[in-house]
Amino acid sequence: MIQRKLTLVMENKPGALARVVGLFHQRGYNIDSLHVDPIEDFEPFRFIEDELGIKFQVGEVSRLTIRTTVGDKLMRQILRQINKLIDVIAVSDDESTYLKGILRNENLL
């Protein structure tokens, strides 16, 4: 088991963070560290705007970074479970990204 980093782009809505944190507890995963702040520089995320055909406004979306220590198989399961949360726009680990529910085999975030 190694420590891995997950990056999420999610709607900055009440309760959204609780859904992510709650998911870790509910599914028996552990959080080593967590960092969240609203996205102010949208430059690295323009591709998401292009994909969704929208324009992010300041304060609308947050970036969340979670470190967790798990094996490969569980990592894949965590990614898939997070991808299912309705408020999550994109989530990635080192190898793959779920962007609005669609899997890409690279870390885009």
Partner 1 sequence: MKIAGNDILIQSLINEGVEYIFGYPGGAALHIYDAIFNQKDMQHILVRHEQGATHAADGYARATGKPGVVLVTSGPGATNAITGIATAFMDSIPMVVISGQVQSHLIGTDAFQETDMIGVSRPIVKHSFTVDKQENIAQIVKEAFHVATSGRQGPVVIDVPKDLTNPDELFDFNYPEKANIRSYNPPVKPENHQVSRAVDAILTAERPVIYAGGGTISSNASDELRELNELLDFPVTNTLMGLGVYPGTGKRFLGMLGMHGTYQANMAMHNADLIIAVGARFDDRITNTPEKFAPKAKVIHFDVDHSSVSKIIEADIAVFGQVKDSLKAINNYLSSRKDEINREKLSPWHQQIKEWKEKHGLNHELYKNDSDEYPILPQAAVQHIYQESEGKAFVTSDVGQHQMFAAQYYHFDEPRKWINSGGLGTMGFGLPSAMGVKLAYPEEEVICITGEGSIQMCIQELSTCSQYKLPIKIFNINNLALGMVKQWQDMNYDGRHSSISYEDSLPDFVGLAESYGHVGIKITKNSELKEGIAKALAIKDKLVFVDIYVDPNEHVYPMLVAPNGSLKDMWLGKGEKT
Among 44, 52, 71, 72, interactor with partner 1 by CB under 8 A: 52
CA distances from 38 to 4, 72, 87, 95 (A): 22, 29, 14, 24
The reply on whether position 65 binds partner 1 by CB under 8 A is: no
Q: Under the criterion CB under 8 A, does residue 97 sit at the interface with partner 1?
A: no
Task: Give the per-residue SS3 of 45-94.
Answer: HHHHHHHHCCCCCCCCEEEEEEEEEECHHHHHHHHHHHHHCCCEEEEECC
Shortest Cβ distance from residue 72 to partner 1 (Å)? 11
Residue 88 near partner 1 by CB under 8 A: yes
Choice from 5, 17, 19, 65 touching partner 1 (CB under 8 A): 19
Instruction: Check binding of 14 to partner 1 (CB under 8 A).
Output: yes
Rounded to 5 degrees, what angle do the CA atoms 32, 33, 38 make?
155
Q: Provide, rounded to whole angstroms, the least separation between the CB of residue 104 and partner 1.
A: 13
